[in-house]
Amino acid sequence: MPDSVTHLAAVVIGGGPAGLMVAEQLSKAGIVVDLYDAMPTVGRKFLRAGIGGLNLTHNEDWQDFISRYGDKAATLRPALDSFTATDLRSWAAALGVDTFVGSSGRVFPIEKKAAPLLRRWLSRLRDNGVRIHSRHRWLGWNEAGQLRIQGPDRTLTINADMTFFALGGGSWSALGSDGQWLAKFRARGIECAAFRPSNCGFEYAWPAELKSQFSGSPLKSIAVSVCDSKGLGWRQRGDAVIASYGIEGGPVYGISAPMRDAIEQHGACTMYWDLDPDRSIEKLQQAIAKRRPKDSIANILRKQCGLNGNKLALFKALTSKAQMTDLDGIPALIKRLPQTFTQTRGVDEAISTDGGICFTAVDDKLMLKKRPNTYCVGEMLDWEAPTGGYLLSACFATAVWAANAAIARQK
């Protein structure tokens, strides 16, 4: 017996920030929305982002903001212009969540949590009539092109006037975004780029002692730099973290895209540590000149150069015996200590992913060229950006852009 087919006005698949924002825009326009998510609750990655304070967006010159999306900046620009960082802050404020600008320009909710915002947002969506179906996994399309969705006790076959996919990227699969959708899109001839880790750590085999003593410890106030394939220098300051597997943390994520690309192209990438970004080579030389005659190298590194704990261990791990005893060469090494990596950390542990639905597969309103009235939004599209609020910003903006295009198309 053929399945019974349900006909719905608007179906949103994926209940992360992008899918929820689509549901909000459509429901505000009076469209009945059914939102399906595979997990028992929606917004799990969004809630996880709240643990780091929920960096919603970034307060900076708009041109600079747009440039963070690299070679996808021009493609994403119309969407980003349609829902700017200011719009995002006003949207949060309308939900009763005020935001503030941190010292680096990052924008956070005052409470630095995602849960209150999500709670109020979901309540508003329910008030707008959005029907949220958790534990409903999209399985693919059937031969007739209808959506197949596996619920807790039956498989649904659905036709919709408009369909939005907001299935997320391919990292942190335990939170729902497992990337399994990619093969289903590819099988339908929709161009997708393979997932690659973005904002990721890098593997390195530390000496056993360093690993046991300093795994998980922050390397405070350092800078890291790398040169990309076009010869452009990338530099990030902040606190990196020595992980048991290698390195991670904000500044590392900030230069992870060119590092990943270099590893892909050449099999290795050399990154440079600046262990004392506030002092020049000359200042370090002057400090070393003030040493006492009997000071050992270890003491000079500690007292004159300020290398203690994990910084000292890192310096020792990455220098030869000859370099360690060459006092003249030490300041330059502290300022530019090379470390070569050959492996990114796996994609599932990355903060976000590059890859997904290629922009060649969608039109300028993010509608799939091969499937009219079917849109893709959020991280599942093939763009990447550094951390700093740029990820959520583009997820929200692409959702607003595509939803409003679909509403306009209906009229």
Ligand X SMILES: Cc1cc2nc3c(=O)[nH]c(=O)nc-3n(C[C@H](O)[C@H](O)[C@H](O)COP(=O)(O)OP(=O)(O)OC[C@H]3O[C@@H](n4cnc5c(N)ncnc54)[C@H](O)[C@@H]3O)c2cc1C
The answer to whether the beta carbons of residues 196 and 209 sit under 8 Å apart is: no
Q: In this chain, which of 68, 89, 137, 345 binds ligand X, going by CB under 6 A?
A: 137
Under the binding rule (CB under 6 A), the answer on residue 138 touching ligand X is yes
Identity of the residue, 200 or 255, whose beta carbon is nearer to ligand X in the bound complex: 200
Residues recorded for the chain: 411
Which of these segments, 172-180, 261-269, 301-309, 321-329, binds ligand X (CB under 6 A)?
172-180
Q: How far apart are CA 234 and CA 297, in angstroms?
A: 32
Helices within 248-307 (DSSP H only): 250-254, 256-266, 281-289, 297-299
Q: What tokens appear for 355 in the block?
A: 């890859």
Under the binding rule (CB under 6 A), the answer on residue 253 touching ligand X is no
| Number of residues located near ligand X, criterion CB under 6 A | 38
Identity of the residue, 124 or 133, whose beta carbon is nearer to ligand X in the bound complex: 133
Q: How far apart are CA 164 and CA 376, in angstroms?
A: 6
Minimum CB distance to ligand X, residue 60 (Å): 14
Amino acid present at 322 = A
Q: How far apart are CA 344 and CA 350, in angstroms?
A: 9
Please report the DSSP string for 324-390 in residue order.
HH-TTTHHHHHHSEEEEE--BPPGGGSSEEEEEE-GGGB-TTSBBTTSTTEEE-GGGBS----SSSH
Under the binding rule (CB under 6 A), the answer on residue 258 touching ligand X is no
- DSSP designation for 4: P
Minimum CB distance to ligand X, residue 175 (Å): 7
Site string for ligand X, 6-35 (x = CB under 6 A): -------xxxxxxx----------------
Residues 52-91 that bind ligand X (CB under 6 A): 52, 54-55
Q: How far apart are CA 19 and CA 197, in angstroms?
A: 22
Residues 174-193 that bind ligand X (CB under 6 A): 176-177, 181
Q: In this chain, which of 91, 121, 141, 172 binds ligand X, going by CB under 6 A?
A: 172
Q: Are strands 374-376 and 155-165 parallel, antiparallel or unpaired?
A: parallel
Residues 335-354 that bind ligand X (CB under 6 A): 351-352
Q: In this chain, which of 85, 130, 166, 313 binds ligand X, going by CB under 6 A?
A: 166
Identity of the residue, 147 or 275, whose beta carbon is nearer to ligand X in the bound complex: 147
Binding site for ligand X (CB under 6 A): 13-19, 36-39, 42, 44-46, 48-49, 52, 54-55, 137-138, 166-168, 172, 176-177, 181, 351-352, 378-380, 389, 391-392, 395
